[in-house]
Copies of this chain bind each other. A is one copy, B any other.
Amino acid sequence: MAISVDTFFLNPDAQGTLQAQIQEMIAEGILSGRFRVGEKLPSSRKLAAHLGISRITVTLAYTELLANDYLTSRGRSGYFVSDNAPVPPSYTPQQKSGDAMDWGKVLARSFTGGDTPRKPQDWREYRYPFIYGQADASLFDHANWRLCALRALGQKDFAALANDYFDQDDPLLIEYIARHTLPRRGITARPEEILITLGAQNALWITCQLLLNRRRRAAVEDPAYYTLRDQVVQTRCQVDCIPVDEGGLPPEQISEDTDVIFCTPSHQSPTTFTMPMERRKQLLRRASEIDAVIVEDDYEFEMSFLGAPSPSLKSLDSEGRVIYAGSFSKSLFPGLRLGYLVGSEPFIRQARALRASVLRHPPGHVQRTVAYFLSLGHYDAQIRRTAKVLHDRRAVIEDAIRKHGLTIAGVGNFGGSSLWMRAPDGVDATTVAERLKEKSVIIEPGAPFFGAEHRQQNYYRLGYSSIPATRIEAGLALIAKALKQG
């Protein structure tokens, strides 16, 4: 690769001769790792013309660098970064620009911290990854996805997708969701009541921003998906973390000055309990009574392989009180980042304006690819295949759990891709999880799911969406052993 002449600038304030400046620029490029061994430098003629200096100055600088072994010359082909050039420190270039700023003072807000844990990026290297919410590449219909992406990359589609959508969505995708996806959850919605988001997480974030501020009160399930709780906390509202039971969120525990209720009725996250029909109605009545909005996260609704799915809470809503969040990232692959919000038109109008300000719209090509994947039936086939495999793994993992005497804390009748587990009292699952990593086992400690008030240390989550059935038993044996050591 040739080094572009455009990377060279003369600094009018620089100390020293022009020749020295050029030498420094090149040495700095090599030391910082920007110029690499074997890369070709611009010809002296070209660089001299670019900088508006005489060619001899450049030639002298090159000759000097040659002598110092930064460069090597290959006769007429020109100058190259030498094999013997000083090796840059592993990507820590000499910082020209210092940092004189007091960032603690300059930053108006902090978003680090919170309960959301950092997960291991290298989880694929582990032999027993009981990790949740990651893709199992072996289950994904990669061939048809590629064909759909190709179709969306075709000349005709491309012209449309390259467009700035301003605040709009791909009409093909919206139509499919309205006509096919939502009816399966018992929901009827017009295009004006649907917004495409960058995953369900983005949908929930938008909802928090629109409905909460420091004068509002939110009810969140406890335990709950930690990132949602972080999003709620970031709005600085009052947060009630309400312990769930075997029916999910208990409506009578919701205080009457609550403005927004967040819940996961299909199967509670992380306990997997499904909210019975009677309680759903109670919840809607309670929300109506206290005039609160309900936000329903219907994550993984397609994975109800243990029983027929109950219709969504939104489908029972006759007042426009429920805002519904769905996702394609979970059922396809998480790197996709595509989900949607369904709600009353005035709400969606504001959500669209907020999204437009934050990021305009999700990339057009991604939306169109999903629209094709859905409308050609590949999505449904994928879901059926995945559900079948997860169903099989579920049987294997339940057997292994019984065999090794472990305890399931949440026995759901829904399905899904994880189990909520309880270790003996006094066991710190976070410590155990750390120790298990050395045995190539990943489990997810349960503590971050709990609000600070009721934080419990002896719970953990076992995901089975990324581990082959054949490894489950051996992995559980290691977990059982580690738990015994406490």
Contacts and interface: CB of A to CB of B under 8 A. Distances in A.
B107 A183 contact: no
Contacts of A17: none
A154 B138 CA distance: 14
14 contacts: A34-B178, A99-B345, A101-B320, A103-B344, A103-B347, A106-B293, A107-B350, A111-B357, A112-B349, A134-B163, A137-B159, A149-B149, A205-B359, A230-B357
A359 B202 contact: yes
Contacts of A183: 7, 29, 34
Given A100-B321, A168-B121, A234-B357, A162 B334 contact: yes
Interface residues of A, number: 120
A353 interface: yes
A231 B357 contact: yes
Interface stretch (A264-272, A310-318, A408-416, A432-440): A310-318
Given A93-B190, A359-B199, A366-B366, A353 B111 contact: yes
Contact of A137 (B108, B162, B335): B162
A112 B166 contact: no
B319 A98 contact: yes
Given A100-B319, A108-B210, A358 B361 contact: no
Given A101-B320, A101-B344, A111-B354, 5 more contacts: A104-B346, A149-B149, A201-B360, A337-B359, A337-B362
A382 to B, nearest CB: 13
B108 A213 contact: yes
Contacts of A356: 111, 116
A335 B161 contact: yes
Given A93-B190, A230-B357, A335 B103 contact: no
